Chain A
Amino acid sequence: MSEINYTKAFEELQEIVHEIESGEISVDTLSKKVKRAAELIKICKTKLTSTEEDVNKILKELSSADDPEAEV
């Protein structure tokens, strides 16, 4: 999976939005926060519209991990 877990990205994004909405951000930190928010939005949007799983990899794993399982 990608370097940043999208759940964390989503949470961090909500946090930044909350900070911006509550008006507690000074103009100095605004630029940094906006940049970070844009990054996070990009990551999340990518998550929505792309997929990285590989069917072949899964099939390989399936066939290699063929051990008898005692319980279901």
Chain B
Amino acid sequence: MPEIVDNKQVFTLYEVASSIRKTLADRYTSPFWIKTEINKLNIYAKSGHCFPELVDKKDGRIEAEMRATIWKKDFDRINENFKNLVKEPLKDGIKVLMKATISYDPKYGLSLFIQDIDPSFSLGELEKEKKETIEKLQKEGLFGKNKLLPIALLPKRIAIISVDTSKGYSDFIKVIDQNIFGYRFFHMLFPAVLQGEASIASITRQLKNIKKVKSHFDAVAIIRGGGGDVGLSSFNNYTLAKAICSFPLPVFTGIGHSTNLTVSEMVAFQSAITPTELADFFLQKFHNFAVPLQRAEEIVIDEANHLIENEKKLFQTTIHLFKTLTRNRLKTNHDEIRYLSSGLMQETKFRLNNERELLISTKRDILRCAKELMREEKNEIGRMMISFQKDSQRFFTNQLEQLKNLEKIVQLVDPMNVVKRGYTITNVNGKLVRSVNDLKEGDVLNTLTADGNIDSKILKINSTN
């Protein structure tokens, strides 16, 4: 009840508040639908009640702000609906269409009591945001950027963004590390939150970190699993999607879920339905490298052997041919030699025979001629002997005649005969006197006569010249 103090009507605060409450209660009797944005959800874990902060923003500026209350019972129901339809629980920052009553409490002030929130509106809003994100990225030319990156021939070194307790992560690692082919990967975990609002900043920060050491990796894999389809809306966020688009390495996603692709998965280099499928993809890349490798090894070995076999065969054939040709040649030569040698022998025999015949007949001829010659000579000699006899007789007779003549002369000339005729030979001192010059008066001369000699002395010399 109001008091009067100093002529003024004075109310207590409680009275004011009660009045406001009554006025509002009378004015706003039934609930109505409100479109707004939940700025912060503010769930009180102990009681289970929820006290969201609602805002209306225009061009980024807050136009209206109000607190609301959702009782645990209602909150659990609404959240369940959301999870079923939107695949997201209620969270900060979502736009909602809610059914609420206005109430004013003296102690707690003005607040809205939320009875229900339409999930399909929020779904629509999320879809709208998703579309906006896609359009913005496309306009900026970033949408397909990561897909255009070159992927290493062998993506061996993988930077994994995941939660190490997640089943998706352990599935991925198991397939990669325990593959039966012996392929070895290098992977390093960059832990992050992968669900809810916090995942945007968490994943983005890890992407930044990986970028610092990007030379050590061939690809990034964002892996999530086991969360079902709930809590994926952060992957439609513009900031996160942009970070993936402009990342310098190919980004792969293995986010196990069955609903439509999130923007992050759309812009990633490649998205796999489950972490296991992503692991299989990497193994397949190794196969694509290993299988041609194996084939190359086989071909090289086969072809090399083949070539060598061919060369061997060719060589053998050539050797064989060479042998045969040579043998034939030798045989031909041999035959020819034999033929020639037999010819030679025959010819030689023939010639020798001829010569022998010739020699024999010549010998015969010689003999015959010699005999004849001898006979002729004998005859000739006979003839000559006769003539010789005749001639020699004649000669002798001749010579005798001459000799007789000579004898006569000699006799005539013989000094004894001369002396006999009356001549004398005079010597002086044993020397014959030819000239009066050799003599002087008184020399003793010896004069030979036919019947002795006379010693005389010279009385006088009379010269006639």
Report A's interface with B, CB cutoff 8 A: 6-7, 10, 13-14, 16-17, 20-21, 25, 27, 30, 34, 37-38, 41, 44-45, 47-53, 55, 57-58, 61-62, 65, 69, 71-72
Q: Are A41 and B293 in contact (CB under 8 A)?
A: yes
Alpha-carbon distance A17/B188, docked complex (angstroms): 36
- Chain A residues in 8 Å Cβ range of B186: 51-53
Q: Which of B152, B157, B246, B290 is in CB contact (< 8 Å) with A48?
A: B290
Q: Are B156 and A51 in contact (CB under 8 A)?
A: yes
Q: Which of B157, B183, B185, B296 is in CB contact (< 8 Å) with A41?
A: B296
Question: 10 pairs across A/B with beta carbons < 8 Å?
Answer: A10-B153, A27-B307, A27-B308, A30-B307, A37-B300, A41-B293, A41-B297, A45-B293, A51-B157, A69-B208
- Chain A residues in 8 Å Cβ range of B211: 69
Q: Which of B157, B182, B242, B307 is in CB contact (< 8 Å) with A49?
A: B182
Shortest Cβ distance from A20 into chain B, in angstroms?
Answer: 4
Confirm or deny: B392 has a beta carbon within 8 angstroms of a beta carbon on chain A: no
- Chain B residues in 8 Å Cβ range of A44: 289, 293
Alpha-carbon distance A47/B183, docked complex (angstroms): 9
Confirm or deny: B10 has a beta carbon within 8 angstroms of a beta carbon on chain A: no
Q: Are A10 and B242 in contact (CB under 8 A)?
A: no
Within 8 A of A (CB), among B116-135: none
Shortest Cβ distance from A41 into chain B, in angstroms?
Answer: 5
Q: Are B153 and A38 in contact (CB under 8 A)?
A: no
Q: Are A10 and B293 in contact (CB under 8 A)?
A: yes
Q: Are B216 and A13 in contact (CB under 8 A)?
A: no
Q: Which of B185, B204, B295, B297 is in CB contact (< 8 Å) with A72?
A: B204
Report B's interface with A, CB cutoff 8 A: 152-154, 156-157, 181-186, 188, 204, 207-209, 211-213, 216, 239, 242-243, 246, 286, 289-290, 292-293, 295-297, 299-300, 303-304, 307-308, 311
Q: Are A10 and B209 in contact (CB under 8 A)?
A: no
- Which applies to chain A's interface (DSSP): helix, strand, loop or mixed? helix
**Given A7-B153, A51-B185: A16 in contact with B300 (beta carbons within 8 A):** yes
Q: Are A6 and B212 in contact (CB under 8 A)?
A: no
**Given A48-B183, A49-B183: A17 in contact with B216 (beta carbons within 8 A):** no
**Given A48-B289, A49-B183, A61-B213: A20 in contact with B154 (beta carbons within 8 A):** no
- Chain A residues in 8 Å Cβ range of B304: 20, 30, 34
- Chain A residues in 8 Å Cβ range of B303: 20-21
Shortest Cβ distance from B180 into chain A, in angstroms?
Answer: 12
Shortest Cβ distance from B300 into chain A, in angstroms?
Answer: 5
- Which applies to chain B's interface (DSSP): helix, strand, loop or mixed? helix
- Chain A residues in 8 Å Cβ range of B209: 62
Shortest Cβ distance from B192 into chain A, in angstroms?
Answer: 14
Alpha-carbon distance A55/B190, docked complex (angstroms): 12
Q: Are B182 and A72 in contact (CB under 8 A)?
A: no
Q: Which of B181, B216, B246, B299 is in CB contact (< 8 Å) with A58?
A: B216
- Chain A residues in 8 Å Cβ range of B182: 48-49
- Chain A residues in 8 Å Cβ range of B295: 17
Shortest Cβ distance from B304 into chain A, in angstroms?
Answer: 5
Q: Are B188 and A58 in contact (CB under 8 A)?
A: yes
- Chain A residues in 8 Å Cβ range of B207: 72
Alpha-carbon distance A7/B285, docked complex (angstroms): 13
Q: Are A6 and B157 in contact (CB under 8 A)?
A: no
Shortest Cβ distance from A13 into chain B, in angstroms?
Answer: 5
Alpha-carbon distance A37/B304, docked complex (angstroms): 11
Shortest Cβ distance from A19 into chain B, in angstroms?
Answer: 10
- Chain A residues in 8 Å Cβ range of B185: 51
Q: Are B293 and A72 in contact (CB under 8 A)?
A: no
Shortest Cβ distance from A61 into chain B, in angstroms?
Answer: 5
Q: Are B246 and A72 in contact (CB under 8 A)?
A: yes
Shortest Cβ distance from B224 into chain A, in angstroms?
Answer: 20
Shortest Cβ distance from A67 into chain B, in angstroms?
Answer: 8
Question: Nearest B residue to A66 by beta-carbon distance?
Answer: B212
- Chain A residues in 8 Å Cβ range of B184: 48-51
- Chain B residues in 8 Å Cβ range of A21: 299, 303
Alpha-carbon distance A21/B308, docked complex (angstroms): 14
**Given A41-B293, A44-B289: A58 in contact with B300 (beta carbons within 8 A):** no
- Chain B residues in 8 Å Cβ range of A57: 216
- Chain B residues in 8 Å Cβ range of A48: 154, 181-184, 286, 289-290, 293
- Chain A residues in 8 Å Cβ range of B152: 7
Shortest Cβ distance from B308 into chain A, in angstroms?
Answer: 7
Q: Are B208 and A72 in contact (CB under 8 A)?
A: yes
Q: Are A38 and B204 in contact (CB under 8 A)?
A: no
Alpha-carbon distance A21/B316, docked complex (angstroms): 24
